[in-house]
A and B are shown apart, each in its own frame.
Chain A
Amino acid sequence: MNIVVVLKHIPSVADELPVRGNQVDFDSVDFVLNEWDEQSLEQAALIKEALGGTVTAIGVDVIGELDNLLHLALAKGADRAVKIAADDAGADSHRQAKWLSEAIRPMAPDLVLVGVQASNDIDGQLGPLLAAYLDLPYIGVVSSIEVQDGTALMNKEFAGGFGARYSVRLPFVAGVQVAPKPPRYAPVSKIRQIAQTAKIEVLEPSGEADSGLVFRKVAPPVVSGHAEMIEGSPKEIAARLVALLKERGLA
């Protein structure tokens, strides 16, 4: 099995997201691995454990710090690490998917795994775009993949706990929502050790695509109602909440 896992390096939503002009101020935010990519990494590792093969981790290096994520991927079972040196913090999904497709096509993968979405996928997710550019089928919101004899049996989630099982002939692109097991832990010592010896292949961006979206404005939501904020110490907040619930017959 030749599995490619795509990593997307994105602005962290844990902190404030300052805006400059019509975009996030990329210089003053932390970039993190898209959380669903951890799931696709885990899914890739599980398939490799079951069937053997190689896992290639690849991503667009948007701010010049992708090495850290690639080291993490290697520590979690990837065999090969590739970065597309773009240095383009605002690269949209279309552009990244195009570059990735040019890099991935010659790898002739059996399976390409991508996180189901990223919080900055304003022009759509990498997975379906990659599938379109690579002329492969796409199936997303996937919660398990088992491969046997050139075919994958996989579960896709809908709403309310409903889902469906599909069989898909390889190769294809899957958008992973969750792996069958929680992502494995890679000790920092192991990542450090890998960082010292790992060889990361570097590719130049090739191919052109554009989201076709012109950004007019990026700003925190204008809301009709903001919560009435209860101030004070935790004890004061608790007292106010309990009083409120009692008033309404809810406690």
Chain B
Amino acid sequence: MSKDILVVAEHFNGKIADVTFEMVGKARELAAGLGGKVVALVIGAGVEANDLASDATLQVNEPALTEFNPEAYARIVEAVVQEQAPRLVMFGWTSMGMDLAAWLSGRTGAPCAAYVRDLRLENGGLVISCQAYNGKLIAEVEPQGEMTIAACLAGSFPTEAGRGATAATSIPSPIALDSLRVRFVEAIQPPPGDVDITTQAKLVAVGRGIGGKENIELAEELAEKLGAVVAASRPVVDAGWLPRTRQVGKSGLKVKPKLYLMLGISGAPEHLEGMKDAELIIAINTDKKAPIFNVAHYGATADLFEVAEAMLELL
């Protein structure tokens, strides 16, 4: 086993994604403590991969893999891991990393920590903090064995320490690509039209607590009075109460408004990914233990309908 850390890079539209810089920065800190190197693995040709602060960047130069292919990526990572025997393999807890991390754990028997918020070294061993139970609890775990897999929540570490100028080295694909069962067909673009919530100064965001489509009107009224636009958590969109264009979070949009007024949103890590940098966050929630109160600037344990109605009367 080496003391090295393998960071499985994520990219989109030919550019390295922020979560990769975040992980490389964290990996550098850990590698310094372990006395190992940081190796970034970029799968796909045509990705601009010379801007990482890794000790080495390996790029699998296959044009066919520039688009994510869960089967091919998984097997390539497995092959590279077998060859390099790293101490730690880092993935993003993202749409891509969620397909790979636990699979690699099942294949190799190495422990996997998911929902990772932080990693540190104690007496040479890794201690990992996982943001479990929708953000209500943090589990601190010590992985056993020689290799550990960590799937890190986006936004957990600063990106700066991961930015550098390491030139990527091309490597051929370690696996045959002609017998894959999974084939990329085409990219799907976001639905056009509607307001762009990422450019709004004020958002009134509704969550599952809004209860039904018929109650969206109340949020619309409040938003109108405030000169804001209505945004939503994912379940509201999945239920068809608001269009996909209004979704904030991991699989939705990232927003940074001056005001983010939240009605009935619990504050799951996937929602926080999209809004935690808003300038003023106000949360109304009936659950005084809702994780959103750890992030909001102002909060009230109250019924959203009563508060919204009362605000409407005052505005």
Contacts and interface: CB of A to CB of B under 8 A. Distances in A.
A122 B105 CA distance: 13
B101 A128 contact: yes
A122 B100 CA distance: 15
Contact of B134 (A13, A162, A248): A13
Contacts of A166: 69-70, 182-185
Interface residues of B, number: 103
Interface string B100-139: 1111111101111111000000000001001111111111
B251 A229 contact: no
B46 interface: no
Interface stretch (B159-167, B170-178, B296-304): B296-304
Contacts of A244: 282, 298
Interface string A117-147: 1011111110111111100011111000000
A117 B102 CA distance: 11
Contacts of B184: 164-166
A227 B283 contact: yes
A211 B245 contact: no
Main secondary structure of the interface of A (DSSP, over half): mixed
Nearest to B147: A212
B251 A237 contact: no
A122 B293 contact: no
Contacts of A168: 181-183
Interface string B192-209: 000000000010000000
B15 interface: no
B187 A237 contact: no
A125 to B, nearest CB: 5
Interface stretch (A60-68, A74-82, A151-159, A187-195): A151-159
A140 B306 contact: no
B98 A250 contact: no
Given A166-B182, A227-B299, A238 B311 contact: yes
B240 interface: yes
B143 A178 contact: no
Interface string B288-300: 0101111111111
A215 interface: yes
Nearest to A125: B102
Interface stretch (B25-33, B34-42, B252-260): B252-260
Interface in B67-82: 67-71, 74
Interface string A39-61: 00000000000000000000000
Given A137-B71, A223-B294, A227-B283, A159 B138 contact: no
B243 to A, nearest CB: 10
A242 interface: yes
A223 B227 CA distance: 32
Contact of A125 (B111, B114, B135, B202): B114
Given A16-B289, A250-B202, A140 B185 contact: no
Contacts of A205: none
A161 B310 contact: no
Contacts of A9: none
A24 B115 CA distance: 17
B307 interface: yes
Contacts of B133: 11, 13, 17, 24, 119-120
Contact of A167 (B102, B183, B287): B183
A46 B112 CA distance: 33
Nearest to B105: A124
Nearest to A170: B181
B125 to A, nearest CB: 10
B258 A140 contact: no
Interface string A90-101: 000110010000
A227 B298 contact: yes
B95 A141 contact: yes
A250 B298 contact: no
A97 B106 contact: yes
A66 B110 CA distance: 30
Contacts of A207: none
A162 B12 contact: yes
A212 B111 CA distance: 5
B282 to A, nearest CB: 6
A241 B298 contact: yes
Given A120-B133, A227-B281, A229-B293, 18 more contacts: A11-B133, A123-B113, A124-B106, A128-B101, A132-B105, A132-B107, A158-B96, A159-B12, A161-B253, A182-B239, A213-B142, A216-B127, A219-B138, A221-B137, A231-B300, A241-B282, A241-B300, A242-B311
Interface of B: 12, 67-71, 74, 94-96, 98-107, 109-115, 127, 130-145, 149, 151, 181-191, 202, 225-226, 238-240, 244-245, 247, 250-254, 258-259, 266, 280-284, 287, 289, 291-303, 306-311, 313-315
19 contacts: A13-B133, A116-B98, A117-B114, A119-B132, A121-B115, A121-B132, A122-B130, A122-B141, A128-B106, A137-B74, A141-B98, A157-B251, A160-B253, A164-B185, A221-B135, A221-B294, A227-B292, A230-B299, A250-B259
